[in-house]
Amino acid sequence: MEQREDKTTTTAADGGGGDVWGDDERTRGLEGAAVKRGEGNHTQEKAKQRKEDDGPRAVKVAMDVPLPGRGQCDVNIFLDRVDADNNSGDASDDEREDDNDHHDNEAGSAGQQKEQQGKPVHASADDHHRESLQQTDRPYIRVWSTFDSGNLQAVQAVEVPTRDNDMTLHLEAEVSPDILARASQRELKTWFYFKVTRLDPSRVHTLRVTLTNMTKQLRLYNQGLTPIVYRQHKGQQSGRWGRYCSSVDAELDDDGDFLLSFTYVVDDTHTRDSIVGFAFCYPFSYTECEHMLASYDKRFNHEASAADAGVYFHREVVCKSRDGRSVHLVTITANDDGLSVDQREPRIPPLFPDRNTKRPRVAPDRPVFFVSARVHPGETPASHVCNGIIDFVLNTEDARACALRSMFVFKIIPMLNPDGVARGHYRGDSHGLNLNRFYNNPCPTTHPSIFASKVLTSFYSQQQAGLAFYIDTHGHATKRGCFLYGNCLESARHIDNVTYAKLAELNSPHFDFGCCNFSEKNMFSKDKRDGLSKEGSGRVSEFRQRLAYQPEVDESEVGEYRIAIQMTILMNAPEKERLCT
């Protein structure tokens, strides 16, 4: 079995999350306490005050350098109200139950109590070295996003639970943009994912959360999207995701800022050991992807044990991301007479850095069916569709899957942007780049996964059987349903594109043929935010790459790109409750 180095660590409390900083960031001495960074006038003032208070521990950020650690937070919110007269912070008698028996190890060192007259008190992770929560019996909850794919840069209580407000705790929070150092990325504040623990129903009946700085997404929420909720209670090895929020309000305030508010009821099934997570939509982290692929390795033993089932499964690291995470290439086909016994694919420098892992065996008469996902990290439905493709093609009991394996060699990159995923970004990589605009001329060091994808499809297109399908999966924030973006081809080949989409509609009740777009305009339009053209997207670049080969070599010798499309799924498309493992 191939030895792999994971760049994330798993903790039980995080439900599979962990440290998401790369090795280059660790050398800057920022490991340990969470780093919170402000954005906008309001938070910049608070950040300035923290800098003055913290002295030499403050971090000066150069505008052309990506921010290590990004805007994640680990905050403890006290549930009592400070007495404005004596500033003692004493809790009432019925709030003096000892909270030290639960989550002491998880909470670790909290912060010095930041007390404001007449307002609730909360302590942040910036204060970890000043005071231990083990020394206080004041009731509190923990809110954190310091795990794989987490995103929440600041949170505070604006209303604490009392008998007068039916024990409602109201939190105001801010999400972090993809990267603060790039002006074009500061508006990308859509993805959020954070967790809460110590929600004791005897103290908190209702949790109300308001996100105050998100990118405007009125249409998405008006169409019925609600935040997704993860619940794991004491004694459970894993939790479940579902839509458990109510009173979801999306609106613009008087200043034109977008506000998203939602309510979560803390019922009697909750204890102080329960973990509740909130996310923009069903997450799928880098850690989860690593675990999923490892489970397939174990199931198929990399090659040998799958022979009896007629399945050939191979996994290899095609390249490393800029933060050092693995980008995997999965190969699936039928393990039969069409698969060469001794011939393997050649190494293609600088790809496939692990020299100890053999390249996959060759099926020379089968065209390649290429699938990729998660070039945009916040579009998590793309992963769930890609994972469904992998799971279906590996099904040994389904005659359709068996037929597909005998017809094609599936080449799948499940996660093109692992750095953006792990950092909790919505659209960019660790340097704020939209990788789906660099397929025309990718750089092996700046866009390693895109460079790898382009090299691979170029190689497969020139083999005997060629490249039959290129599908890149995405999520869409406004258009409804599941649909395809394809290229505008000459009349005969355009029929193949449209027919594929029509067949998808006939075979799936969730597919919306009317939302598909095969226009030339959609191939070359530019993004409003940064002016980058879709000409640099995967589907358009792959189509243009095929045209470059056509004049030089006969098509019967190199095969052909039959279909190069982008599969897109609405963020709030019908979803089944997902078990988080």
What are the tens digits of pLDDT across the range 205-234?
Answer: 999 999 999 988 888 898 889 999 999 999
pLDDT digits (tens, 9 = 90+) for 106-137: 333 333 333 333 334 444 444 443 445 555 67
Q: Using the 8-state DSSP alphabet, how is residue 118 labeled?
A: T
SS3 233: coil
pTM of the full predicted structure?
Answer: 0.75
Nearest-5° Cα angle at 373, 368 to 379 = 155
Strand partners, 47: none
Interior/surface letters 203-220, b for 16+ CB within 10 angstroms, e for the rest: bbbbbbbebbbbeebeeb
pLDDT band of 54, cuts 50, 70, 90: very low
Active site residue 288: no
pLDDT more than 70, % of the chain:
65
The burial class, CB within 10 Å (0-12 / 13-18 / 19+), for 372 is: buried
What is the rounded end-to-end Cα distance, in angstroms, of the chain? 23
pLDDT band of 362, cuts 50, 70, 90: very high
Report the mean per-residue pLDDT for the chain. Answer: 75
pLDDT band of 92, cuts 50, 70, 90: very low
Query: Comparing 361 with 555, which gets the higher pLDDT?
Result: 361
What is the CB neighbour count within 10 angstroms for residue 238? 11
Residue 37 tokens read as 């960074």
pLDDT at position 59, please? 29
Kind of pairing between the strands at 563-570 and 193-197: unpaired
Q: Which of 533, 364, 448, 302 is nearest to 456 (CA)?
A: 448
What is the CB neighbour count within 10 angstroms for residue 377? 31
Q: Using the 8-state DSSP alphabet, how is residue 18 labeled?
A: -
For the cut 80, the answer to whether the pLDDT of residue 493 exceeds it is no
Cα–Cα distances in angstroms (integers) from residue 459 to residues 338, 404, 438, 454, in the given order: 20, 22, 18, 9
Phi and psi torsions of 459, nearest 5°: -65, -45
Q: What's the rounded mean pLDDT across residues 258-273?
A: 96
pLDDT band of 15, cuts 50, 70, 90: very low
| 393 vs 372: CA distance, rounded Å | 15
pLDDT digits (tens, 9 = 90+) for 390-406: 999 999 999 999 999 99
pLDDT at position 526, please? 58
> In residues, how long is the chain?
581
pLDDT at position 376, please? 93
pLDDT digits (tens, 9 = 90+) for 439-448: 888 999 999 9
Q: What's the rounded mean pLDDT across residues 145-149?
A: 97
Query: Comparing 555 with 235, which gets the higher pLDDT?
Result: 235
pLDDT at position 119, please? 39
Which domains are seen in the chain, by residue range? Answer: 34-279 (no CATH), 301-570 (3.40.630.10)
Q: 319 with 307: CB under 8 angstroms?
A: no
Query: Comparing 550 with 442, which gets the higher pLDDT?
Result: 442
For the cut 70, the answer to whether the pLDDT of residue 500 exceeds it is yes
Marked catalytic residue, from 5, 490, 552, 555: 552
Residue 504 tokens read as 């998808």
Query: Comparing 151 with 54, which gets the higher pLDDT?
Result: 151
pLDDT at position 538, please? 58
Q: Does residue 350 have a cis peptide bond before it, meaning omega lies within 30 degrees of 0?
A: yes
pLDDT digits (tens, 9 = 90+) for 196-206: 999 999 999 99
| 57 vs 12: CA distance, rounded Å | 30
pLDDT at position 525, please? 59
Rounded-to-10 torsion of CA 310, 315, 318, 319: 170
pLDDT band of 517, cuts 50, 70, 90: confident
For the cut 60, the answer to whether the pLDDT of residue 21 exceeds it is no
pLDDT at position 243, please? 96
| 573 vs 578: CA distance, rounded Å | 14
